[in-house]
Structure 1
Amino acid sequence: MIDEVGSPAHRLPSAGRKIVVVGGGIVGATIAFHVADRGAQVTVVDAGSPGEGETSRASFGWINAREKGPKAYHTLSRRSLDMWSRFAQRLEVDVGLQWGGQLIWTDTRERAGRMEKAVERQRKSGNPVRLLTRGEMKELEPGIHPGGFSIACWSEADGQVDVPRVVRACLDRVSALGGTVLGGTSATGFAKDDQGRVASVETGSGRLQCDTVVLACGPEAPAVSALAGLEVPVHHTAGTTAVTTPVSPIFQRVTVAHAPSGLHLKQLADGSVVFGGFPC
């Protein structure tokens, strides 16, 4: 959030404050819902169709607390595991939240050694994760045929969510709470008051008065933040995510699976499979 150019807001907005959220993806939509639920007057602007941007469409929606650093990030992920069920209930619609854990297996002794050490670290941090033999993995998921196999692990507390459903649910709640969602509307500039504080957002549809601006526009963050005199560093990584048409169930218990090749996949409630990976 930006209360003043170059000065992030550290406190949640009070009731009645005018908040403009630039970006209607998973980050912008969830922030908009939470501040609207606290009584703020919220307007969401998105250059395209909210929830259809690159980051939301490509988001895998995996809820987990695997090894993540720094410590604050790991703590946030652990708290997220505890909060998701309550959050989904507050949205009052089905967002495709599923629990069942994550299954990952290796095909070499070298990778198995790294997995064993990682599992031990996770256990010490309180994560419910355990190693599996080929037979135990087959019992857990009879439909998975791993080919080359050395060892597997199952993080039983992990889950997944249908990201586009979450975005739609959040923005619907924003509208129900009196907020406004503007698709096809780009932020083109920021006007400041005499103290240098952002006082309004300029858009192709007109000026939006505000007390606070939230920049949640994914890969467009550097360009949009530059309009406010800010520099937001973005680290780019290559990856691919695809979604199939609905198919018969592929998992018996788990919600997310990762193969040694780097392929990861999950199945949504409607039967469609989301899969992707990163170049090795």
Structure 2
Amino acid sequence: MHDQQDSGQRFAVIGAGVVGLTTAYHLAMRGHQVTVIDQAEAPASGCSYANAGIIAVGHAESWAGPAAPRQMLGAVLGRAPSVKISKLLDPDLWRWGLAFLRHCTARAHATHSDAMARLSRHGRRMLQDLEQATGLDFDQDHDGAYYLYGDRAAYHARVKSLSDGDQGFVPLSASELTQRDPALRAFEGTLRGGLVSSVDSKGDCHRFTQALAEWLQQNTTVTFCYGTSVTGFRRAEGRVQAVQTPSGEIACDQLVVAAGTGTPALTASLGVRPLIYPVKGYSATYTILDDSRIPQRPFVDETNLVAVTRLGDRLRVTGIAEFAGHDSSPRADRAAHLDGYVARHFTGAVDLDGARHWAGLRPSTPSGRPYIGQLRNTPNVWLNAGHGQLGWTMAAGAAQVLCDLVDGVRPAPSDVSETASWLKSA
């Protein structure tokens, strides 16, 4: 166990999701005193609550690319079942969308995707290190994943794009996939091929985050302020000296904002408004009735843009990217979209009638890269936010990168953060 050193600084971390708590873990292991603040009554109550559960290294690719403008146009016209725009006149969406379009060149796509892939691989390694150090159990395994294609041209294009840097991905035909995993016969007739990844993992993000919070309470001096809203900051001499809340001030030497989609509103009073937009994702969770019909590994259906993961005795199915502002309420038609997918492929294998539906807001940047770094105008304020659909994948690695920056050490990997004139980034 790491001894808490008297020389450690007092850190306030805003956000008790998986990003905030892995950040608190790394800070505590380096001897700092940490207070975690969240307006929810328990950890992992937001985007970390019921996400896909895949540590999806193989899906670490920037959405912004040459094909994206056409996809977005399809969403505006209502022709993209997996992408929905419900708040077209939102000024924040237009601000975000114009920046997104600027990143849609082939060169920018390659740069951002490389950074996301490196941070995702690092995140998986750091999660395994954390798992070994703490002994946490969260329905995890590290056996990889499938990436399935129902479109032959898309499959061959993906195979052709594999490079020496894509080690860990093996392309297989549809028949080879079903021979390897008979449960994939549920996709016979529509499956055209896929990749078997050995570099992905799975685990229940909500269960992990709750278990990590308990571990930190029992084994470190990290303290938690749940049900606590941040109303402002007390500043002096260009630094934040305390976080203001309805129940009083929380003094700090350093502040980390890891509040997901709430980050821009919190930092606005500091003169900074990161381009983070809430992209709503949906999930449905089903009790498994027949193990033999559930694929051995989690998978991403790249044609229907749906992710499927077994977590213990439950099947988690996620999909849809909806631009609806800060509205996190689930919609019945979106839930029906997921239920329909499961009914087509897993009728009899899961309890369809007992489905539990959820919607959460993914904190997404135009490039897909998160903001990890230090505010230039307030040097004791740090950001670790904007991980989008890869928050569970990147969290443990992004936390370690941020803590290296706090210590004045050049992180490895480097050059993984989104860049901004107001940010000293990784």
Question: Which TM-score applies when normalising by structure 1?
Answer: 0.85
Asked whether the 8 Å contact 1:268–1:274 carries over to 2, the reply is yes
**Which shows bigger deviation, 75-84 or 23-32?**
75-84
Q: How does 1:207-226 map to 2 (within 5 A)?
A: 207-226=249-268
* Partners of 2:138 and 2:251 in 1: CA distance: 32
Partner of 2:182: 142
Q: Which amino acid aligns with 1:208?
A: I
**Which shows bigger deviation, 239-248 or 198-207?**
239-248
Instruction: Say if 1:247 and 1:202 are closer, same or farther in 2 by CA, change over 3 A.
Output: farther
Instruction: Say if 1:132 and 1:78 are closer, same or farther in 2 by CA, change over 3 A.
Output: same
1:202 deviation in Å? 0.4
Q: Which amino acid aligns with 2:227?
A: G
SS of alignment partner, residue 237 of structure 1 = strand
Partner of 2:168: 128
Instruction: Say if 1:14 and 1:117 are closer, same or farther in 2 by CA, change over 3 A.
Output: farther
Partner of 2:228: 185
* Partners of 2:131 and 2:263 in 1: CA distance: 27
* Partners of 1:262 and 1:46 in 2: CA distance: 31
* Partners of 1:81 and 1:201 in 2: CA distance: 32
SS of alignment partner, residue 112 of structure 1 = helix
* Partners of 1:114 and 1:39 in 2: CA distance: 48
Q: In the alignment, is residue 160 of structure 1 matched against residue 152 of structure 2?
A: no
Give % identity.
26
Asked whether the 8 Å contact 2:37–2:228 carries over to 1, the reply is yes
Instruction: Say if 1:70 and 1:255 are closer, same or farther in 2 by CA, change over 3 A.
Output: closer
Q: Which amino acid aligns with 1:65?
A: V
Partner of 2:51: 59
Instruction: Say if 1:141 and 1:257 are closer, same or farther in 2 by CA, change over 3 A.
Output: farther
Partner of 1:102: 145
SS of alignment partner, residue 232 of structure 1 = coil
1:64 deviation in Å? 3.2
Q: In the alignment, is residue 29 of structure 1 matched against residue 21 of structure 2?
A: yes
Q: In the alignment, is residue 229 of structure 1 matched against residue 271 of structure 2?
A: yes
1:125 deviation in Å? 0.2
How many aligned residue pairs are there? 263
Q: In the alignment, is residue 20 of structure 1 matched against residue 12 of structure 2?
A: yes
SS of alignment partner, residue 287 of structure 2 = coil
Partner of 2:241: 199
Q: Which amino acid aligns with 2:270?
A: A
Q: In the alignment, is residue 75 of structure 1 matched against residue 118 of structure 2?
A: yes
Q: Which runs of 5+ in 2 are unaligned?
A: 62-111, 323-426
Asked whether the 8 Å contact 1:18–1:212 carries over to 2, the reply is yes
SS of alignment partner, residue 57 of structure 1 = coil
1:257 deviation in Å? 4.0
Asked whether the 8 Å contact 2:51–2:318 carries over to 1, the reply is no
Q: Which amino acid aligns with 1:161?
A: G
Instruction: Say if 1:70 and 1:115 are closer, same or farther in 2 by CA, change over 3 A.
Output: closer
Partner of 1:90: 133
* Partners of 1:246 and 1:150 in 2: CA distance: 26
* Partners of 2:277 and 2:123 in 1: CA distance: 24
Asked whether the 8 Å contact 1:191–1:201 carries over to 2, the reply is yes
Q: Which amino acid aligns with 2:320?
A: F
Instruction: Say if 1:259 and 1:29 are closer, same or farther in 2 by CA, change over 3 A.
Output: same
Tell me which of 304, 320, 323 is aligned to 1:278: 320
Partner of 1:268: 311
Q: In the alignment, is residue 48 of structure 1 matched against residue 91 of structure 2?
A: no
1:55 deviation in Å? 1.3
Q: Which amino acid aligns with 2:16?
A: G
SS of alignment partner, residue 243 of structure 1 = strand
Aligned-residue CA RMSD (Å): 2.3
SS of alignment partner, residue 187 of structure 1 = coil
Instruction: Say if 1:224 and 1:110 are closer, same or farther in 2 by CA, change over 3 A.
Output: same
1:103 deviation in Å? 1.1
1:201 deviation in Å? 0.3
Partner of 1:9: none
Instruction: Say if 1:246 and 1:19 are closer, same or farther in 2 by CA, change over 3 A.
Output: farther
Question: Which TM-score applies when normalising by structure 2?
Answer: 0.57
* CA deviation profile, 1:126-165 (whole Å, cap 9, x unmatched): 4211111222111222112213122221112211121012
SS of alignment partner, residue 267 of structure 1 = strand
SS of alignment partner, residue 201 of structure 1 = strand
1:246 deviation in Å? 4.7
Q: Which amino acid aligns with 2:305?
A: G
